[in-house]
Structure 1
Amino acid sequence: MVKIKTPEEIEIMRESALMVSKTLGLIAKEIKPGVTTLQLDKIAEEFIRDNGGIPGFLGLYDFPNTLCMSPNQQVVHGIPNNKPLENGEIISVDCGVLKNGYYGDHAYTFEVGEVDPETKKLLDITKQSLYVGIKEFKAGNRVGDVGFAIQQFCEAQGYGVVRELVGHGLGKKMHEGPEMPNYGKRGRGKKFVEGMVVAIEPMINQGTRKIVQHSDGWTITTLDNKPSAHFEHDVAIVNGKPQLLSTFDYIYEALGIESNEEDEFRVK
């Protein structure tokens, strides 16, 4: 069910989303060859709890950790472990926070050390596709408009767009309506209205769009074992237009990156 948010609820959700953003910024400083994903997971949990939040993923559907940590060919839902990260890898970090009764849910795919140009391009195109989709999340448009825009943008580069995993509405529950696929047809699906809040999250593969779920019940990888990238923002419709609740600014500050990609979606 789609639950429309009041302006007051959207501001509460912004707090939750920004706590996730700050957590990812903290993690960005620590991602380097030799660190383990369990070490990063501990840092994230402590930061969230110390700042009055509750880890949103920990225990959700019995997930065992605070962060979903998905390296290389893992698409999403990777479980943190004691294996050190290696130079040249990539890793998707997905984090959720529950604060004041509302969820934030936000993800970024990081480079570990020096990454090859083909993989860098995958990350760049996937992140660009996130904003291509966000532009279509406005009053009067429909779910299919967002999915179509992301699909066309990524498939034009020869990438596979995952079908089985989708974005979603967000609020007092981590997953609300509507589902937000990263593929679709223009003019199809639920119509967007003022006060809707969703998590838009392209999951894009370097090769085939096909995926495999592993026996642990969580880990999902690409069928051809080529890399996959994942970026996610929380977005509300305010005054008919998309407005970001989350931000990559804390990540960029940690990594020394300058960017104006979010400017058109910020609070005016």
Structure 2
Amino acid sequence: MTATTPAVPDQQRQVEDELVRRVLASFDDTPDPRLKEVMRALVRYLHAFIREVRPTEAEWQRAVDFLTAAGHLTTDRRQEFVLLSDVLGASMQTINVNHEAADGATEATVLGPFFVADSPEIPRGGDMAAGAPGEPCWIEGTVTDTAGDPVPGARLDVWEADADGLYDVQYDDGKLACRARLHTGDDGGYAFWGLTPTPYPVPHDGPVGALLRTTGRSPLRASHLHFMATAPGMRTLVTHIFVAGDGALDSDAVFGVKESLVRPFERQPAGTPAPGGRDLSGRSWSRVRFDIVLRRQ
């Protein structure tokens, strides 16, 4: 009990205990043992929450209205429930329990709501920005297993927001930009052009945004670039790299930052020769190295 929650009389506690017992018993005949385990745990924790917080009926209705609004806003281009899971840390905690850090493997983090399957293929050294606004960035590295052996032919899906803080799916023109897939070479190496990541707010014009405002939280995500690495015989890795020195590293809205994923993005003055002889017309650019280590299945 908290200081503001009144003590519950024994008779009332017995009424509440009996309801929990009856709801738990309703799942006794569930044929799938895993579903039975999940539903019974959900009931226990949900009822424990209600009995601790003791919401009024009006407060419970507000919670239902919140979830209803999230459902109405969710489409195939926007997932408000994923966003809710993210800002509550539930997405990151699910990642943690399913991807234990071990053997020097690269740590995992959240997928986020903006992944798109079947992004355009680019060659090694290609440009995924596709004309999106932002400073060019050269990203390179290797993919190896935990023994240090290269993983040739690994598929890398990469995606990021542009300098305006938007992903391509947030525009109405249907254009694909700042996302691509590529494959590692025989040496496990990869390289491509993207954009220097910048901080941006998660979508905050819906119920999740209202929740963040009401609780005094920032909607900003730390600057990052998404990676998904897949290869036969290897565990799929979903991760980011974050920009060292970014001001939002300690307050990332979805709790996705891990220290091992923070990398220095080295700024290159205008006129510095670019990899592959790319003509940047006097623009500044940055470069970063990210070596990925995959665990075997």
Which of structures 1 and 2 has the larger relative contact order (alpha carbons within 8 angstroms, sep 6+)?
A: 1
More strand by share: 1
Q: Which of 1 and 2 has greater Rg?
A: 2
